Amino acid sequence: MADRDPVQPLHQPVLPVFEEEEAWVEHAAERFEDAAAEDLLAWALERFHPRLAISAAGGVDGMVLLDMAWRLNPEVRVFTLDTGRLPAETYDLFERVRERYGIAVEFEYPEADAVSAMATDHGPNLMYGSVDLRLRCCEIRKVEPLKRKLATLDAWVAGLRREQWRSRRNIAKVELDRDHGGIVKMNPVADWTLDRVWDYVREHDVPYHALFDQGYTSIGCAPCTRAVAPGESERAGRWWWEQETDKECGIHCSVGLLGSASDSERTASLRPVSDGREARPR
């Protein structure tokens, strides 16, 4: 068991275990595990629209889902988290979405007073100071606005893929989002490769973020995202100054499971439990 990935508890397993009253979510996860992304989106739109929305931050995966869903239902809702530190190219992309699809992307903003207090206390570039401060910035600018948005929905769709990063290795295509009131979260392209995503973009002429043509492989806030070097992972450009930490901001997993401990420190802190499985870090 020594080779188990200690980051895996960030997400439910691929076929999650739920309480009896939530068994239908488990059945949906099983039903759609090998289904086409379009089939899952069609089911989701039929079941949850209009209290369903796609989360799009500028990543190519989210754009693929937006295009797929629009072909199924042109009234699909799309939202994004405007942190106040996004690259100009992100706004350009959403203008193209408006022109191409007629979708008015719903922008969610952080609380101005919280941002002001944080910047006053720690400076505008606090994210470079420590992982804890970076997570604080993410919490105020992304996590809290997401909570407010999801409180108005019954389900949401994200462009997470299992190959993106180790903390996403075990995501299910249908999950119960316990961090957001138990609403349903769907990851229709969880089993897609990056090549497959770009094949879809080219086949359907999907608009994509201009920074992808400049060596970026993931899109986030401007101060926290850079282009990647050949051979680096997709997420290497996010918070690149951090070493051995989770490349997550907390919107796709509980912030309580993230922290400044390195992977090696978390591994050392794992203790065995009676059934032989690894426990969460102390």
Active site members: 249
CB atoms within 10 A of CB 194: 14
Residue 277, classified by CB atoms within 10 Å of its CB into exposed (0-12), middle (13-18) or buried (19+), is exposed
Residue 183: its H or E element: strand 183-186
Say how far apart CA 42 and CA 134 lie, in whole Å: 37
Residue 275 gets which letter from DSSP? T
Nearest to 189 by CA among 81, 41, 7: 41
User: How many C-alpha atoms does 265 have within 13 Å on its Cβ side?
Assistant: 10
Q: What dihedral do alpha carbons 213, 215, 217, 221 form, nearest 10°? A: -90
52 and 156 in contact (C-beta within 8 Å)? Answer: yes
Say how far apart CA 66 and CA 89 lie, in whole Å: 18
What is the chain's Cα-based Rg? 19
**CB within 8 Å of 3: residues ≥ 6 apart:** none
User: How many C-alpha atoms does 272 have within 13 Å on its Cβ side?
Assistant: 5
Residue 47: its H or E element: helix 37-48
Phi, psi of 244 (to 5 degrees): 60, 25
